[in-house]
A and B are shown apart, each in its own frame.
Chain A
């Protein structure tokens, strides 16, 4: 691998916020207020609470769109807007402001979060209409949107960390939303714990940044990154990668995402497909100044991305649970993005491009899966679906749009973004390029399998299943997302000029590839179509058994999430357990002994001193005289 000439992004000048941009705080404040009202208001808000939730996020989306229009009107070099609310932490030389930065990268995230967030809020009105705790659900969703906006709008790593933890909390609460199900409660706990492992990476990275650069604001860290040693930058990069692995369900911290599907489906769509799980990609892309100068860290990013692409695709091919299959697919697609950010300036822009299209079409696919489940008594087993295209037409058509997008058929959205990543991979190395093409073929296979098992073939429904189309409040968001799945790629690439838009923040270089561009496109498309045909033959032409066959060793392993839990157990759980035991021993013997000894000493002293508080005014007066003598002596003796 030859080190490329890296022309990273030059640091942009940040201009203070004026006009509509001074509403950045409101953008976050609205959903935060919604969350506060819904969660503190109690049952009083049951009736109108969900609508308030939709309204706050919807208003934020409108503000975001206005900001986009204004931002596009500005010259590209002054599109970084800063807004400082107040000095938040000051300790010694360490000062952090509660300050936001809206630039081209944050802007696209804000749009994704608020618009997709609004659609999913609307969809949830229908999906959760029978749930008696839906007020709480919308409160948590609002909390999530607010935290995610803080994450992408922060202008320093500490505030980003606040958002990072906030989305983790919201994710935990929402996965465990149906906590009466033990599996949901356990899944929530698992997600929380595994994410903590990643969070340790982020907090250590922040500390290391402060030690190295004396500041944690983006501008200071990235501005002086070139002065730090490569060893330090590599360490920071690897720690950031660990954080990204936790949040974005990348190898080896991927196991929680599949269990997280216990949460309500809108949650899976919003948090575990479109937005939160892409936070790791955001973190690495944002820190491009560090990764550009830490070759080994960037290589580690590529390796993690590649491993996860294949792990996710394998799991997606084997699961019979429609949501878990989609979750495997999410892992795999995020693997593409992580791979792309690992490629450096040839890939950053395309990672974000794929992130946006994926956010839309995967949200659509999840909501479609939710719509199917809604009509099938919440059954998630695809072996009990089949032939649903007649029963739920709108869901079918919209799902197909998402399907064509994810496998990458032109002109659907995913084609443009995935093709860009494949192309960038070839720029880096032919081997990586070939691997991404193979993975694209597997994507074609498992998505075709999913579509075939769900919408085609013979009906294998349970006896009490009466599939029906979902209400309008659910299908309209589906239709909007399907339109997005179809046209967003074209729109972003040719109308929105995503490349020149993001280039000032992320940098963009192009390199020669071993194969001509057209050849790569044709090979990729053929591999995808071959994968799809295999899937079609296996799952649409042949009958699908209701009981899952034993399958090959790979299928069995994939059904066990490729033994992710066992790996976690061996790598994290058991060592932590033993460490905890040792620490506990130390704590109870040494620390407690010291503390208890001190406490006993203070208590004894206190009892003795208390006796001097006799209650007699005369002895008090005597003590005052004694004190006066001390004071006089202390003053006079100093002079001597």
Chain B
């Protein structure tokens, strides 16, 4: 079909939509709208219970729907949305991790002054208003509609098969996150600064993405991935438009996965955001952004592999090395995990570069394994506290192994998994992406990756050493007893980390059976 002709004819027609295929996204968007209405009309006391029912109900309904769709492979909305195996796997993973993230956000026992969010986001930090609101025990529930919109954006992001729709999904996903980052109850200035930086740089990267999309439209005459791929293989159009367009689009996506040199928002945002939000976005956004990156590279620009591979090599190496090396000197555990997530993004890119079925499935496995470990790690961070709130400085973790052996052991498990030690999910994940990359001939890249993972093992092990081989002192933080919400998240993270390390076969089968992207 000629794209120009389609543009002429279908300008004002509603595209045919397979509502059942996109039902999970529609459920979340619909409930998000209801959730906004609840904020407007429900009495103050009733809002939290209603919102929690709505949020978890929507997540569960969407997840059940994804499961029932599991055999579906279809392209709908005039080729703009591809509901295929990888998309469904990622949507399912995003929904589970989002549910765990929501549990952390709903936690009210760990902070003596309430939950993790500012009583009124609009009140100036340190102002009289803020004190009043806090003293009166105000809570805000506006985070829930924001959360739901963001999750809906992610589900769309991994299924979008069209540059414009992908951009819309990117913004639906990101805008609520910018706000959520700035809503911490404690250390609000830090939180707001992080939020603003994240927003500015995010807007900047979106501009790159949009500009790239325009250039690609100029090259291919369409923003649809299928047509772009045809244009690329047909070698019609101008190469300069194509190459610069690809570069611009990739800048936008590499920003979202926090690849070097587009990573600088990560440590600030991870540290400044409420830990529950960090846990949520560091896992789900990573999956969503890698999903989009994979789809763009494999579907739209698969024919250009020889062109983008060298650039991806450079970025992957930079990402692994810089992330690992800078993490070595971090003294704040949230910042350390931020750089660790940068390094991990580099490791995942190694699997992306493989450009094979094995590469795709190993990346999916890695993302899921990493997601559960990360959300568990941040959940633990949220319960290690002292009088000033979360004790994120590593010096406050010394001797935690003697003071709270169970918590410290769980943290050690997560660190070992990040470092890729056998019998944890991290090992299987790293093994999968490295093996896929070697199969596709990227042996040198894997060698760099292994060296970087050795460096990264150093700072992960350091946390264990600090916890278990130093004596507790008066600065050592204590572990508060959380409600069932946080406990479930930590238990789920630890269980999945161990189970995927020992019995990975079911998930490997799942990601292998997911098949390839549709075009």
> Contact residues of A with B, CB < 8 Å?
86-87, 91, 599, 602-603, 605-607, 609-610, 613, 615, 617, 620-621, 623-624, 626-628, 630-632, 634-636, 638-639
Q: Besides the contacts A620-B265, A624-B264, what 11 more A-B pairs have beta carbons closer than 8 Å?
A: A91-B431, A605-B325, A617-B196, A623-B264, A624-B201, A624-B205, A628-B208, A628-B247, A631-B250, A634-B310, A634-B311
Residues of A within 8 A of B503 (CB): 86
State the 9 A-B residue pairs at the shortest beta-carbon distance, nearest first.
Answer: A634-B311, A627-B261, A620-B264, A606-B329, A632-B247, A606-B328, A631-B247, A617-B197, A628-B251
Stretch at the interface among B152-160, B238-246, B343-351: B238-246
Q: Closest chain A residue to B308 by CB distance?
A: A635
22 interchain pairs (CB within 8 A)?
A86-B505, A87-B505, A603-B328, A607-B329, A610-B329, A615-B268, A621-B200, A623-B264, A624-B255, A627-B251, A627-B254, A627-B262, A628-B208, A630-B311, A631-B311, A632-B248, A635-B246, A636-B240, A636-B243, A636-B244, A638-B307, A638-B311
CA A628 to CA B315, docked complex, whole Å: 11
Interchain CA distance A628-B261 in the complex, whole Å: 9
Task: From B205, B254, B255, B326, give the contact of A606 (CB < 8 A).
Answer: B326
Q: Within 8 Å CB of B244, what residues of A? A: 632, 635-636
Chain B hits for A87, CB < 8 A: 505
**Closest partner residue, chain B, to A636 (CB atom):** B243
Residues of B within 8 A of A (CB): 196-197, 200-201, 204-205, 208, 239-240, 243-244, 246-248, 250-251, 254-255, 260-262, 264-265, 267-268, 306-308, 310-311, 314-315, 322, 325-329, 431, 455, 458, 503, 505
B243–A635 contact, CB under 8 A? yes
Query: How far apart are B324's CB and chain A's nearest CB, in angstroms?
Result: 8
Chain A nearest Cβ from B447, distance in angstroms? 16
Q: B260 to chain A: which residues have CB within 8 Å?
A: 627
A599 to B458, CA, bound (A): 9
| CB neighbours of B261 from chain A (8 A) | 623-624, 626-627, 630
Report the minimum CB–CB distance from A396 to chain B (whole Å): 51
Bound Cα distance A212, B329 (Å): 47
Give A624 Cβ to nearest chain B Cβ, in Å: 5
**CB of B302 to closest CB in A, whole Å:** 15
Contact B262 A638 (CB under 8 A): no
A617 engages B201 (CB within 8 Å): yes
State the Cβ distance, A627 to closest chain B Cβ, in Å. 4
Expressed in whole angstroms, the Cα–Cα distance for A476 and B358 within the complex equals 61
- List residues of chain A with CB within 8 A of the CB of B250: 631
Q: Is the CB of B200 within 8 A of A635?
A: no
From B243, B255, B314, name the one whose CB has the most chain A CB atoms within 10 angstroms. Answer: B243
Q: Which residue of the partner chain B has the closest CB to A85?
A: B503
B419 → A minimal CB distance (Å): 15
With known contacts A621-B204, A628-B251, A613–B505 Cβ distance under 8 A: no
Chain A: minimal CB distance from B328 (Å): 4
Contact indicator B262/A624 (Cβ below 8 Å) = yes
Q: How far apart are the CA atoms of A620 and B200 in the complex, in Å? A: 10
Residues on the A chain within 8 Å of B239, using CB: 639
B197–A620 CB distance below 8 A:
yes
Contact status of A613 and B247, CB under 8 A, knowing A86-B505, A624-B262, A635-B307: no
A628-B248, A632-B243, A639-B239 known; A613 and B329 CB under 8 Å? no
| A615, B194: Cα distance in complex, Å | 10
In the assembled complex, which residues on chain B have CB atoms less than 8 Å from the CB atom of A602?
A: 325, 328, 455, 458
A607, A609, A624, A632: residue with the most chain B Cβ atoms closer than 10 Å: A624
> Within 8 Å CB of A599, what residues of B?
458
Closest to B244 in A: A632
Whole-angstrom CA separation of A621 from B246 in the bound complex: 20
Q: How far is the CB of A435 from chain B (nearest CB, A)?
A: 48
Residues of chain A with a CB closer than 8 A to B264's CB: 613, 620, 623-624
For B200, what are the chain A residues with a Cβ–Cβ distance below 8 Å?
617, 621
Q: Would A621 and B247 be within 8 Å (CB), given that A606-B329, A631-B311 are in contact? A: no
Q: How far is the CA of A594 from the CA of B268 in the complex (A)?
A: 34
Q: Whole-angstrom distance between the alpha carbons of A615 and B196 in the complex?
A: 12
Q: Is the Cβ of B251 less than 8 Å from the Cβ of A624?
A: yes
- B247, B267, B327: the one contacting A635 at CB < 8 Å is B247
Q: Name the distance in Å between A622's Cβ and chain B's nearest Cβ.
A: 10
Known contacts A615-B268, A621-B201, A621-B204; is-contact A630 B314 (Cβ 8 Å): yes
Complex contacts, B307 vs chain A, CB 8 Å: 635, 638-639
CB pair B201–A620 under 8 Å, yes or no, is yes
In the bound complex, CA of A367 to CA of B315 (Å): 70
Q: In the assembly, what is the distance between CA of A638 and CA of B242, in Å?
A: 13
Residue of B nearest to A599 (CB): B458
Closest to B314 in A: A634
A95 to chain B, nearest CB (A): 12
Report which of A610, A617, A620 forms a contact with B326, defined as CB distance below 8 A: A610
CA of A602 to CA of B243, assembled, Å: 36
Q: Give A627 to B250 CA distance when docked, in angstroms.
A: 11
Q: How far is the CA of A2 from the CA of B1 in the complex (A)?
A: 85
Give bound CA distance, A314 to B503, whole Å: 50
Most buried by B among A610, A617, A638: A617
Residue of B nearest to A626 (CB): B261
Question: How distant is A631 from chain B, measured CB to nearest CB, in Å?
Answer: 5
Among B262, B327, B329, B455, max chain A CB count under 10 A is at B329
Shortest CB–CB separation between residue A428 and chain B, in angstroms?
46
Question: Which residues of A are found within 8 Å of B201, using beta-carbon distances?
Answer: 617, 620-621, 624
CA distance A86 to B507 in the complex (A): 13
